[in-house]
Structure 1
Amino acid sequence: MMRHLFALCALAAVGALACAAGVSAKPQTIHPGELWPDDRGNHVQAHGGGILKQGKTYYWFGEYRSRDNDPNLRYVGCYSSQDLVHWKFHEPALKLADPENLGERWVLERPKVFYNARTKMYIMYFHLDSGNYSLARVGIATSKKADRDYKYLKSFRPLGQISRDIGQFVDDDGSAYLIFEDRPNGFHIARLSDDYLTVERDVCLIPMHMEGGAVVHYQGLYYAIGSALTGWNPNPNKYATATSLAGPWSEFKDIAPPEANTYGAQSTMMLKVVGPKATTVIFMGDLWKPKTQWDSRYLWMPVEIGDGKLTLPSPHDWTLDVKTGEAEIVSATPPAAPAAPSP
């Protein structure tokens, strides 16, 4: 009898540790458009963000827009998870005062973090701007640790071009790219230098005026998505395909019914989860609330992708198993979505 009790206690302890680490033996449910609590019960503040995977741990970086932020600082939030559902809060990875005398309403947006295996450094890119968006540069901060201690390094215009919204892409061969919106010319996909501290060369300039850019490589094709230039207001996000990042790219098509305006969301990244049973591509989007930015939500959904087609299903609860790569939509009716943003 005592052996059985010890065995049950051991199993319970293992289960508790697994829960504490954000690991579960069964698929976990994601609720698009709802409050997304972290391990403290607070809504995740990682807007306009990106995901970095290190080993079995995913790090989610994004704009930390808490109500009690110091108005003189800008913050980059950082959370970690092993199942992409349960997120552990870390202190903001970056707390930055105005780095270049940009003025009271200066901007830090869309942070993305790359890991450089050669230098063993974490490099954070973000859109850095003045309040009237006239600077249009990328800023860089670096750290030796994934989740903290980022220090501001510099800002510049990549390839001498305007840069507003940025995205990140790491190809299957490990090469790293910055995606940036250059309003006079279009949508750049540019390769980073070996140390990731600058942009080495333009791989492709797609002559489309799009922001919220993201790229994924799936079954031999590259898929690029982005949104139109409508500020906070949602619009029909579109996608194109190519066999090479350099193009040529196909015409852009809607990822969802155009009247749905991408279900109120704007793209920020496409995340590929590869497992032994399936490969799932997740559309990561922001449901912006400009007047209550701390309450802005997230729309994460598995896309239907393949043979040159990409479709974003309407928001429903869905499960994800990061160990097998499998995703499944589980709810019969969509969850309540937040009100559409106003200018």
Structure 2
Amino acid sequence: MKKTSLYLLLLLTVELIAQNNSFSPGEIWKDTDGIHINAHGGGILFDRGIYYWYGEHKGTSNNAQVGITVYSSNDLYNWKNEGVALAVSKNPNSEIVTGSVMERPKVIYNAKTKEYVMWFHLELKGQGYAAARTAVATSSSPLGPFVYLKSYRPNKETWPLNYNEKWKKAPKDGEPQKWWSEKWYKAVKEGLFVRRDFVEGQMSRDMTIYVDDNGKAYHIHSSEENQTLHISELTDDYLGFTGKWARIDPGGQNEAPAIFKKDGTYYMITSGLTGWDPNAARSFKANSILGPWTPLGNPAKGKDSNLTFYSQSTFILPIQGKKDAFIFMADRWTPKTPIDGRYIWLPIKFKEGKPVIEWEKRWKINQFFK
């Protein structure tokens, strides 16, 4: 009897030691099975008291070999692997066949349709990043399996709200052919790629989804050859686009958008364009989600802030039950060994009306948010 009690106590002690009770950005983050979490470029859904973390399953390649994974947690520190939420297809004719690119999945719940809706950036197999599409899938459960529906080039044959009428026609002397020239930069700001993609639909790469207080959902994505962000209103079922959209920071070269709202003001954090390499983050604010958006500069402060602590934004997580409590979620990419990518989660503070992100080697929620 004593041996049995001692054994049970030992097991309990080991279990308690294995439990995470803080965040350690950049270190291996093990799930409840003791395996490094595999949910890169992810987003979080809070549903019925549980957090669900969706992300890209990485192996030795950045192309999709498994699909979109999902983990669950009730404390944000400890995550259970719930398996594959949306699997790649073995059908060679499928858009999400093994070897395609499935990035930055975000899941939201539609109270009207009772469906969980997943959006993600999709690139077709064998086409590199030329397809530039956004894709949607649905499920009756947050754990899936999600059923793939289709992919889009958004806002086909629709002009943005904040678009100058005179930009709708190409200049009489033609579009500039030489990229990166002064004339080309000016043309980008004045709708060069919007005109080019008007019939087919606008490009959509790095993306996120935001559901506003009134239930309206918005798709925020890098477009126009990654030169300009687009914010697009989704239909009431969250499965399509209404045609109401706006360009944000034309020619500003933003990607990896992450958005949140505080005291009625919208805030967005993005990154610049340096491929897999880190760069200085950017931040913006707006009184309306469709803009205009005002730049606020780099929210990261301190050592390595010029590289956003060697990471790139993916999502801003509101902590349930705590006022003005937001976590900056980012990825530290390792393109040569994608599976080893690390997660950088840091608290967002506010100073002089601007979001601020500072490095914390180890931190707990109650240190910053009451």
TM-score (norm 1): 0.81
Pairs within 5 Å for 1:321-332: 326-328=366-368
Secondary structure of the structure 1 residue equivalent to 2:337: helix
Contact 2:282 2:295 in 1 (8 A): no
Q: Pick from 180, 199, 205 the counterpart of residue 241 of structure 2.
A: 199
Structure 1 gap segments, 5+ residues each: 1-8, 321-325, 330-343
Q: Pick from 331, 335, 340 the counterpart of residue 290 of structure 1.
A: 335
Secondary structure of the structure 2 residue equivalent to 1:251: strand
Alpha-carbon distance in 2 for matches of 1:108, 1:70: 9
CA displacement at 1:177 relative to structure 2:
1.3
Residue identity (%): 39
CA displacement at 1:175 relative to structure 2:
2.2
Q: Which residue of 1 aligns with 2:145?
A: 149
Q: Pick from 194, 202, 214 the counterpart of residue 258 of structure 2.
A: 214
Q: Is the alpha carbon distance of 1:236 and 1:272 closer, same or farther for their aligned partners in structure 2, counting shifts above 3 Å?
A: same
Opposite residue 94 of structure 1, the aligned amino acid is L
Q: Which residue of 2 aligns with 1:162?
A: 203
Contact 1:318 1:327 in 2 (8 A): yes
Pairs within 5 Å for 1:65-76: 65-66=58-59, 73-76=65-68
Q: Is the alpha carbon distance of 1:307 and 1:260 closer, same or farther for their aligned partners in structure 2, counting shifts above 3 Å?
A: closer
Secondary structure of the structure 2 residue equivalent to 1:28: coil
Secondary structure of the structure 1 residue equivalent to 2:78: coil
Secondary structure of the structure 1 residue equivalent to 2:141: coil
- 1:186 counterpart = 2:228: yes
Opposite residue 368 of structure 2, the aligned amino acid is E
Q: Which residue of 2 aligns with 1:115?
A: 109
Alpha-carbon distance in 2 for matches of 1:201, 1:141: 20
Q: Which residue of 2 aligns with 1:93?
A: 85
Contact 1:123 1:141 in 2 (8 A): yes
CA displacement at 1:209 relative to structure 2:
2.0
Alpha-carbon distance in 2 for matches of 1:328, 1:253: 23
Equivalent pairs, count:
304
CA displacement at 1:272 relative to structure 2:
1.4
Q: Which residue of 2 aligns with 1:63?
A: 56
CA displacement at 1:224 relative to structure 2:
1.0
Secondary structure of the structure 2 residue equivalent to 1:291: coil
Q: Is the alpha carbon distance of 1:74 and 1:247 closer, same or farther for their aligned partners in structure 2, counting shifts above 3 Å?
A: same
Q: Which residue of 2 aligns with 1:270?
A: 316
Opposite residue 33 of structure 2, the aligned amino acid is R
Opposite residue 42 of structure 2, the aligned amino acid is G
Secondary structure of the structure 2 residue equivalent to 1:29: coil
CA displacement at 1:219 relative to structure 2:
1.6
Alpha-carbon distance in 2 for matches of 1:284, 1:294: 17
Q: Pick from 248, 254, 272 the counterpart of residue 292 of structure 2.
A: 248
Alpha-carbon distance in 2 for matches of 1:118, 1:316: 42
**Structure ID, larger Rg:** 2
- 1:171 counterpart = 2:167: no
Contact 2:63 2:102 in 1 (8 A): no
Q: Which residue of 2 aligns with 1:340?
A: none
CA displacement at 1:190 relative to structure 2:
1.4
Opposite residue 83 of structure 1, the aligned amino acid is D
Q: Which residue of 2 aligns with 1:135?
A: 131
Contact 2:64 2:102 in 1 (8 A): no
TM-score (norm 2): 0.75
Opposite residue 328 of structure 1, the aligned amino acid is F
Q: Is the alpha carbon distance of 1:99 and 1:236 closer, same or farther for their aligned partners in structure 2, counting shifts above 3 Å?
A: farther
Alpha-carbon distance in 1 for matches of 2:363, 2:101: 34
Deviations 1:66-119 (A, max 9, x none): 45x998734101000011110011111111125546887421111111111111
Opposite residue 221 of structure 1, the aligned amino acid is T
Q: Which moved more, 1:193-202 or 1:253-262?
A: 253-262
Q: Which residue of 1 aligns with 2:283?
A: 239
Structure with greater strand share of residues: 1
CA displacement at 1:155 relative to structure 2:
0.7
Q: Which residue of 1 aligns with 2:190?
A: none
CA displacement at 1:171 relative to structure 2:
2.0
Contact 1:302 1:327 in 2 (8 A): no
RMSD: 2.8
Alpha-carbon distance in 2 for matches of 1:294, 1:99: 27
Deviations 1:153-211 (A, max 9, x none): 11111112100111121223332211111034611121211111112234431023211
Q: Which residue of 2 aligns with 1:53?
A: 46
Q: Which moved more, 1:302-311 or 1:206-215?
A: 302-311
Opposite residue 329 of structure 2, the aligned amino acid is M
Alpha-carbon distance in 1 for matches of 2:238, 2:298: 32
Opposite residue 125 of structure 1, the aligned amino acid is W
Alpha-carbon distance in 1 for matches of 2:241, 2:277: 30
